[in-house]
Amino acid sequence: MRVIVDLDVCQDHGQCVFAAPDIFRLDEEGRLAYVDSPDAALRADAEDAADVCPLQAIRVEG
């Protein structure tokens, strides 16, 4: 599974962090950081994170 975030679109809302804390986090500056090939077991979390992104900047593939 691959997670792709369009960082030009992302505005660091952090909603994905609450939905999928094992994939996404906010750094000290409040900027998004994430794991781009997370474990397949995290698929449901990744889908939830894509849903809750207000900018719809997250894609889940594979």
**Contacts to another protein by CB under 8 A:** 11-15, 17-18, 26, 28-31, 47, 50-52, 54, 56, 59
Nearer to another protein, 38 or 53 (CB): 53
Query: Nearest approach, Cβ of 49 to another protein (angstroms)?
Result: 11
HEC-encoded secondary structure of the chain: CEEEECCCCCCCCCHHHHHCCCCEEECCCCCEEECCCCCHHHHHHHHHHHHHCCCCCEEEEC
Query: Nearest approach, Cβ of 26 to another protein (angstroms)?
Result: 5
